[in-house]
Structure 1
Amino acid sequence: MIRKVCVMGWPITHSRSPLIHNHWIKTYGIADAVYERLAVPPQELNATLRSLNDWGFIGANVTVPHKEAVFAALMRHDAVAARLKAVNTIVTTDMGLEGRNTDGYGFIANLKDRAPFWLASDGPVVMLGAGGAARAIAAALEAEGAPEIRIVNRTRTRAAALVDDLKLKAARIYEWTDAASALAGANLLVNTTTLGMKGERDLDISLDALPARALVTDIVYTPLETALLRAARARGNPTVDGLGMLLHQAVPGFEAWFGVRPQVTPELRALVLADMGLAEEKN
């Protein structure tokens, strides 16, 4: 019997999850397995979840706009998904479907892979934005030992809601116009907004107050080197692009479905970049 996994979203044609997982299925010789796209309109989500196993799927990934709705629809969650109230991975267990969230794991794993010298405990973190991605990243950074999380957001109420909802123990909120104060003494700067993405305006922020040793990363990966990363690299800061977060967040799900822990390799990274019509940046 074919073991099927899918990624559910609306729309879904943009997803590169099939490219990643089918590469691993081939690499590790997983017999009778396939990973597919499943276009699921919001009004059909609950019926799809009820039918998932009947259709032969042993699990799924979840992408926009379904992450919060899947959390609400499932009765079982891992601790991370329960805290974030969002699901990006579904695993079939003896007790039924379980919702998990690996976004924060993917973010931290990418930093450890591309910047192994960096330690979360070495100083404050500055996070630009307070949306869905910021929730997963803030929770992961706190779990990793960041002593302080400084949230810079245009809307203070949204940042405050993030802090309250996640019960972040050491968080400070900064106005967007006061970003320079937030950067002073920082160990990490992360952009969780869509600013800098292809088709969006660039992130306009002065890095003058940022220590030269601070790591700078961006969850945007189209372009691979955003204006933020380019500016940081030009002044000597180490940088990490956002593509690895996409790749690493896929690892725990594949392991849960197929019993093999896959590796994020240069070959996989090159495969995804080629599909995006990009090449590795030359520093």
Structure 2
Amino acid sequence: MNVPHAHVIGDPIAQSKSPLIHGFWLEKLGIAGRYKARHVEPGELGDYLGKYRGDGSWIGCNVTMPHKRAIMGHLDQIDPVAQKLGAVNTVVRQENGALIGFNTDADGFLEPLIPTLKAQHLFRMARIIGTGGAARAIIAALAHNGFTLVVAGRNPDKARALLDEIAPEGEHHAIHLSHFADPTDFAFDDREGCLDLVINASPLGMRGNPELRFDWSHAPPGSIAYDIVTDPLDTPFLKAARDVGHPVIDGLSMLVGQAAIAFEKFFGVSPPREHDDTLRALLIR
């Protein structure tokens, strides 16, 4: 009997936590399945898919940088959400060998916010730092949930183009990243009944990258700080937010959330989320 197996592919890939997450869920559920990391360089993408497309036990792969856009040209079908975002992070093989691409970033990002989003708010605003692939998904997810967006990047024109493409409705704003770097004495109005988010959707603050310069005087009281970086998990951005009293959400929340969606697509069952605390403890070792 062939054991169903899936991969996560990227370049580099050794740092991926996905094998640990999926392996943990497979073990808890007693499912005979495997999930491993595969190093695939950009020039090898077509060969990789050609090799596994005909493997009946291969059920698909998660896709990380730098393949999220390039892989779209190798697929037979692309889910409308992934098509809109212009990126695929999950490929599912059908029984006939057809490959379908999905993007789980938006739903994975929203998962830890769902209890908050169920409440009614007078106004919702999000400050989003970054203009890459993750930012595209986050912009789409928050615009769909009634947020006014401020997108900050090194190139404000790119930020504006993202908003015009993904969230053309609404009075959204594009600014330079440096706007948030220095203190401000802006007097925020009464934010009772409002929901404010500050999101780092960039690699800034990730190990080996420059630190994100964000002064928390730019955030209204009660703003939720959300950093999608997972290495380190407790970034300087989150530490500074916590120090001035803001609630925080770290990158594992999005990572586990999007993995849960992919796991169900691969193995046909929901992962055992009642063990999230144990899983998180393993991931931060």
Q: Given the two structures, how large is their TM-score scaled by the length of structure 1?
A: 0.87
1:78 equivalent in structure 2 = 79
What is the distance in 1 between the residues matched to 2:85 and 2:187? Answer: 26
SS of the residue aligned with 1:11? Answer: coil
What is the distance in 1 between the residues matched to 2:213 and 2:204? Answer: 9
Instruction: Note the C-alpha offset of 1:28.
Output: 0.6
Following superposition of structure 1 onto structure 2, how do residues 154-165 of structure 1 map, counting pairs within 5 Å? 154-165=154-165
Any idea what the Cα deviations from partners look like across 1:133-152, whole Å, max 9, x if unmatched? Answer: 11111111122x13311111
What is the distance in 2 between the residues matched to 1:83 and 1:183? Answer: 37
1:9 equivalent in structure 2 = 10
Q: Is the 8 A contact 1:183 1:207 kept in 2?
A: no
SS of the residue aligned with 1:67? Answer: coil
Please, which moves more after superposition, 44-53 or 61-70? 44-53
Q: Is the 8 A contact 2:143 2:167 kept in 1?
A: no
State the 4+ residue runs in structure 1 displaced beyond 3 angstroms.
Answer: 116-122, 177-186
Sequence identity percentage: 38
2:19 equivalent in structure 1 = 18
Distance 1:182 1:68, change over 3 A: farther
1:42 equivalent in structure 2 = 42
Match of 1:101 among 100, 103, 112: 103
Instruction: Note the C-alpha offset of 1:250.
Output: 0.5
Following superposition of structure 1 onto structure 2, how do residues 183-222 of structure 1 map, counting pairs within 5 Å? 187-222=196-231
Any idea what the Cα deviations from partners look like across 1:6-41, whole Å, max 9, x if unmatched? Answer: 11112222222111111111111112x111222222
Q: Which amino acid aligns with 2:158?
A: R
What is the distance in 2 between the residues matched to 1:47 and 1:135? Answer: 28
Q: Is the 8 A contact 1:60 1:91 kept in 2?
A: yes
1:141 equivalent in structure 2 = 142
Q: Which amino acid aligns with 1:214?
A: S
Instruction: Note the C-alpha offset of 1:126.
Output: 0.7
What is the distance in 1 between the residues matched to 2:216 and 2:11? Answer: 37
Distance 1:183 1:203, change over 3 A: farther
CA RMSD across the alignment: 2.2
Any idea what the Cα deviations from partners look like across 1:91-110, whole Å, max 9, x if unmatched? Answer: 12356110001111111113
Any idea what the Cα deviations from partners look like across 1:111-168, whole Å, max 9, x if unmatched? Answer: 33xxx3456964111101111111111111122x133111112211211221233243
Please, which moves more after superposition, 265-274 or 38-47? 38-47
Q: Which amino acid aligns with 1:135?
A: R
Instruction: Note the C-alpha offset of 1:222.
Output: 2.1
What is the distance in 2 between the residues matched to 1:152 and 1:41? Answer: 30
Q: Is the 8 A contact 1:126 1:183 kept in 2?
A: no
SS of the residue aligned with 1:105? Answer: helix
SS of the residue aligned with 1:211? Answer: coil
Following superposition of structure 1 onto structure 2, how do residues 268-283 of structure 1 map, counting pairs within 5 Å? 268-274=279-285
Q: Is the 8 A contact 2:139 2:167 kept in 1?
A: no
SS of the residue aligned with 1:162? Answer: helix
Q: Is the 8 A contact 1:124 1:148 kept in 2?
A: yes
SS of the residue aligned with 2:19? Answer: helix
Following superposition of structure 1 onto structure 2, how do residues 166-185 of structure 1 map, counting pairs within 5 Å? 166-170=166-170, 171-179=172-180
Q: Is the 8 A contact 1:183 1:210 kept in 2?
A: no
Q: Which amino acid aligns with 1:161?
A: A
Q: Which amino acid aligns with 1:217?
A: Y
Q: Which amino acid aligns with 1:249?
A: Q
Match of 2:246 among 214, 237, 242: 237
Instruction: Note the C-alpha offset of 1:46.
Output: 1.2
What is the distance in 2 between the residues matched to 1:176 and 1:8? Answer: 31
Match of 1:254 among 254, 257, 263: 263
Size of the alignment, in residue pairs? 269
What is the distance in 2 between the residues matched to 1:88 and 1:270? Answer: 25
Distance 1:271 1:235, change over 3 A: same
Structure 1 unaligned segments of length 5 or more: list them.
275-283
